[in-house]
Structure 1
Amino acid sequence: MRRLWLLFAQTVTIALALYLVYYAVQPDFRLRRPATVQQLGTASQPAATIEAAPAPTPNSFRSAAGRAMPAVVNILTSKAVQRKHPLMRDPYFKRFFGEPDGEEEDDDQNSLGSGVIVSPDGYILTNNHVVEAADDIEVVLADGRKAKAAMVGTDPETDLAVIKIDLPKLPVIVLGHAESAKVGDVVLAIGNPFGVGQTVTMGIISALGRNNLHINHFENFIQTDAAINFGNSGGALIDTNGNLLGINSAIYSQTGGSVGIGFAIPVTTAKSVMESIIKSGHVVRGWIGVESQEITPELAKSFDLKRDSGAIIAGVVRNGPADKAGMKPGDILLSVDGKAVKDTNDMINLIAQLEPGGKSTMRVLRKSRETDLSITVGQRPRPRK
């Protein structure tokens, strides 16, 4: 009996070993199940095999692009330009026949750009340079619909504009939080480069708060290496959730094409400008009537300054708000309503945010003494066209 039990145990052990060896040399044994395919067919027709849908691709941004792309539009503008008949340039013709009226012809200048639908009411954010001086603006949606657009207002100092279309069931982009963005975050740029059609490019945020580029008067750009080309102006810069972070505005290029240095206006600035334009047709900003200058090491030494932050008041407009409050050339502006002034760009932005007609307390450094001045804020004059 004992010998029979030992023989049975050895047989079972050998059988299990053979099974494990077979399982090891057949790695796809478990995958050969009908659960991954469906068998379709009849006795007279061979069965067709349909593979199961693939799982979502890792590191894909298709969801973000899919959410934002419907709200990004192509903008086509035209401007009628009068040109004279070639004979009118001939001096002999002018000598004998003069310059008769009504001999001018119309010629159209066409350009293209992009825009972003930000409201179900049809408001679209774009760049000022895309639509400025346009006689006709046409918007083409991603779904193929077209509509004539009306100008709501422009802000040349930030290079932003708002136009409006009248169509039902408009896709609207979700506004993101540019203040939460960090260098290194992945971003996507959506627009219509060179008129080839809606295009998505990918990159990262290369820098934040770029200024002193002399592109706009008010600058606080998001820099990105996502490809931005001619026709992308006014398009969307989005995060990986499909939320709007900025309006693509400009590139640094020596060839006219993208070299990996593009600039977008933050959505916080764009939203503020848009709301002001919709409310009053233009942007209302604070103004005190001063000219400023950066604090350089040379100036700090000549003024015997022990600081490198602030803005030197280089000039004061006579009878302007600052002049009436007692501000003088040579003063160093340190803060506006308790907010520290780092440099001239910071000063301009802080003053622009003030409400015209309201009171503001500004701290200045004058001859090594700090003084608070109460200034009645004026309204910034609109730039001349």
Structure 2
Amino acid sequence: MNTRQLLKGVTLSLTATFLFSLPSFGQEVKPTPQDYNVVESLEKVFESVAEKVKPAVVNISTVSEVKFKHPPIPPEFRDFFFHFGIPFPFDNMPDEFKTKSLGSGFIVKVKNGWAYILTNNHVIDKATKIKVKLSDGSIYKAKVVGKDPKTDIALIKIKIGNKKVPTVELGDSDNIKVGEFVIAVGNPYGLNWTVTHGIVSAKGRHGLGLNPIENFIQTDAAINPGNSGGPLCDIHGKVIGINTAIVRNAQGLGFAVPINIAQKVMNDLLKYGKVIRGWLGVYIEDLSPEIAKKFGVKKGVLVTKVVKDSPAEKGGLRSGDIIVEFNGKPVKNVSDLQLKVINTKPGEKVKVKIIRDGQKKVLTIKIGEMPGSKQVAMENLLSKYGFSVQKLTPELKKRIGIPKWIKDGLIVTTVKPGSPADDAGLKEGDVIVKAGTTPRSMEIMRSVDDLLSIIKKANGSGVLLKVVRGENVIFLVLTSEE
């Protein structure tokens, strides 16, 4: 007998007990041994999940530095305090302050001495220090592998060497049903490794304004501040979601990112260093009942605008079209189409069934790559080195006074103090003209992608840079902290 059958038996047994053992007024209730056996069986299911999942759940603590600019103080204002012999109150105002926060995460993979942890992006976003506490009490400094603000997912890692650490088992969030039991594990209010349970209240929740991409699992399992990033599990102990959000001033309303979405983000970050998403290039909205009735459809989305030179325009989509199928699958609503598109590999040709002027048509559209992915990749890959770059344009060359003999290159726009880039000697205004893993493999840097490719090839072993600084040419070796 599997767990689902056991829970069904529990429900039937408890119902029968209530109906046929209903006491008369004033009569003492006497549970039978069978009643206790049924309840104890249910308890064992929750105990089993807790024992299986808790060791792989971690406590994440972060420190963030918030910097701010003081407004200019007029001299006469300062003189006013000086005249009355009062110390000027704004001289000791700090230029920055630190904030601390807590969250949760869970170990999903161990490879080459590193333990990889899934959590929420908002848990570690803008953090200058990230510490991870394991269930055995050991504490590690974490590094960011990559993050995806669109889904609020982040992947971090800790160096564990040969230490054995437990990992969770990932489930399939597409197959969960409304009404199923779920168990949430996390660190609410700093109360480490807290376990709560409830049911799946709804699926596919969107339009909440929490993330750009929303397809939440809604649950009534208790989720509180500090639970963010922790796992939401089924009764077999498989992770089906990442606890993400709560609704303020509401009870029994919690939301989790489906694990299938998080797993796709994780795999892309590990393989490509960025999240690869398909792009159609349309503005869409859900069908109103009136429009749906007029066109004789039950489900679909209305195209309100087509982006110029987008895959949609090239494929023949027009404003006013109703998309009812995408690659042979029905389109339910805006969120459904968005997920179908972003999970399609760029370059793939898909069949899109539409209704135009009351007639059904099938268009063949070649999916593109979502704009902005390259910028996200630069942030993810270069964040560990502590600097950023920009392609050298004729306007920049003229404005900054770059030597005329430099045709191509990347200008360094920021260098974070104390970072690997700073340690290597890189400075703002430097122009990177060549890069490679060895002197012979050095390539001309014509785009940011060129540098990202070299960094990816180096895999932390070090990147040799040819840099122009003023009229001088220097060579620097850039290594990560790993």
Q: Scaled by the length of structure 2, what TM-score is found?
A: 0.62
Alignment counterpart, residue 217 of structure 1, candidates 201, 212, 220: 212
Q: Distance in 1 between matches of 2:173 and 2:79?
A: 60
User: Is residue 2:129 matched to residue 1:144?
Assistant: no
Corresponding residue for residue 311 of structure 1: 301
Measured after TM superposition, the shift of residue 228 of structure 1 is 0.3
Measured after TM superposition, the shift of residue 66 of structure 1 is 0.8
Q: Contact conserved, 2:292 with 2:299, CA < 8 A, in 1?
A: no
SS at match of 1:120: strand
Identity of aligned residues (%): 44
Corresponding residue for residue 78 of structure 1: 63
Q: Contact conserved, 1:189 with 1:200, CA < 8 A, in 2?
A: yes
SS at match of 2:337: helix
Corresponding residue for residue 465 of structure 2: none
SS at match of 1:342: coil
Measured after TM superposition, the shift of residue 368 of structure 1 is 1.5
SS at match of 1:208: strand
Q: Distance in 1 between matches of 2:79 and 2:232?
A: 54
What do residues 135-185 of structure 1 show as CA deviations (whole Å, max 9, x unaligned)?
111111111011111111111111111111111212101112323322222
Larger radius of gyration: 1
CA RMSD of aligned residues (A): 2.9
Alignment counterpart, residue 59 of structure 1, candidates 17, 42, 48: 42
Measured after TM superposition, the shift of residue 356 of structure 1 is 0.8
Alignment counterpart, residue 342 of structure 2, candidates 339, 348, 352: 352
2:267 partner amino acid: E
SS at match of 2:170: coil
Q: Contact conserved, 1:84 with 1:104, CA < 8 A, in 2?
A: no
Q: Distance in 1 between matches of 2:150 and 2:362?
A: 30
1:291 partner amino acid: Y
Corresponding residue for residue 245 of structure 2: 250
Instruction: Give the paired residue count.
Output: 324
Within-5 A mapping of 1:180-191: 180-191=175-186
Corresponding residue for residue 35 of structure 2: none
In structure 2, the CA distance between the partners of 1:216 and 1:82, relative to structure 1 (3 Å rule), is closer
What do residues 336-372 of structure 1 show as CA deviations (whole Å, max 9, x unaligned)?
1111112222111111111112212212111111122
Corresponding residue for residue 31 of structure 1: none
Q: Contact conserved, 1:285 with 1:380, CA < 8 A, in 2?
A: yes
Measured after TM superposition, the shift of residue 95 of structure 1 is 9.8
Corresponding residue for residue 271 of structure 2: 279
What do residues 82-130 of structure 1 show as CA deviations (whole Å, max 9, x unaligned)?
3578997997339999xxx998544211111000100123111001111
Q: Distance in 2 between matches of 1:193 and 1:87?
A: 42
Measured after TM superposition, the shift of residue 209 of structure 1 is 2.2
Alignment counterpart, residue 112 of structure 1, candidates 73, 77, 102: 102
In structure 2, runs of 5+ residues without a counterpart are 1-38, 83-90, 377-482
Within-5 A mapping of 1:286-297: 286-297=278-289
Alignment counterpart, residue 229 of structure 1, candidates 218, 224, 232: 224
Within-5 A mapping of 1:1-385: 57-60=40-43, 61-82=46-67, 92-93=77-78, 105-121=95-111, 122-167=115-160, 168-254=163-249, 259-300=251-292, 304-382=294-372
Q: Contact conserved, 1:284 with 1:379, CA < 8 A, in 2?
A: yes
Measured after TM superposition, the shift of residue 288 of structure 1 is 1.5
2:255 partner amino acid: F
Q: Contact conserved, 1:247 with 1:266, CA < 8 A, in 2?
A: yes
Q: Scaled by the length of structure 1, what TM-score is found?
A: 0.77
Q: Contact conserved, 1:85 with 1:104, CA < 8 A, in 2?
A: no
Q: Distance in 2 between matches of 1:89 and 1:242?
A: 63
Q: Distance in 2 between matches of 1:169 and 1:324?
A: 53
In structure 2, the CA distance between the partners of 1:81 and 1:307, relative to structure 1 (3 Å rule), is same
Q: Distance in 1 between matches of 2:53 and 2:74?
A: 51
In structure 2, the CA distance between the partners of 1:129 and 1:299, relative to structure 1 (3 Å rule), is same
More contact order relative to length (CA 8 Å, sep ≥ 6): 1
Q: Distance in 1 between matches of 2:368 and 2:323?
A: 17
1:134 partner amino acid: A
In structure 2, the CA distance between the partners of 1:124 and 1:94, relative to structure 1 (3 Å rule), is farther
In structure 2, the CA distance between the partners of 1:103 and 1:200, relative to structure 1 (3 Å rule), is closer
1:69 partner amino acid: K
2:352 partner amino acid: M
Q: Distance in 2 between matches of 1:362 and 1:323?
A: 13
In structure 1, runs of 5+ residues without a counterpart are 1-55
Q: Distance in 1 between matches of 2:334 and 2:313?
A: 18
Q: Distance in 1 between matches of 2:75 and 2:191?
A: 41
Measured after TM superposition, the shift of residue 285 of structure 1 is 0.7
SS at match of 1:292: strand
Q: Contact conserved, 2:62 with 2:102, CA < 8 A, in 1?
A: yes
Measured after TM superposition, the shift of residue 220 of structure 1 is 2.0
In structure 2, the CA distance between the partners of 1:94 and 1:347, relative to structure 1 (3 Å rule), is farther
Q: Contact conserved, 1:220 with 1:265, CA < 8 A, in 2?
A: yes
SS at match of 1:213: coil
SS at match of 1:197: coil
Corresponding residue for residue 50 of structure 1: none
Q: Distance in 1 between matches of 2:189 and 2:274?
A: 30
Corresponding residue for residue 85 of structure 2: none
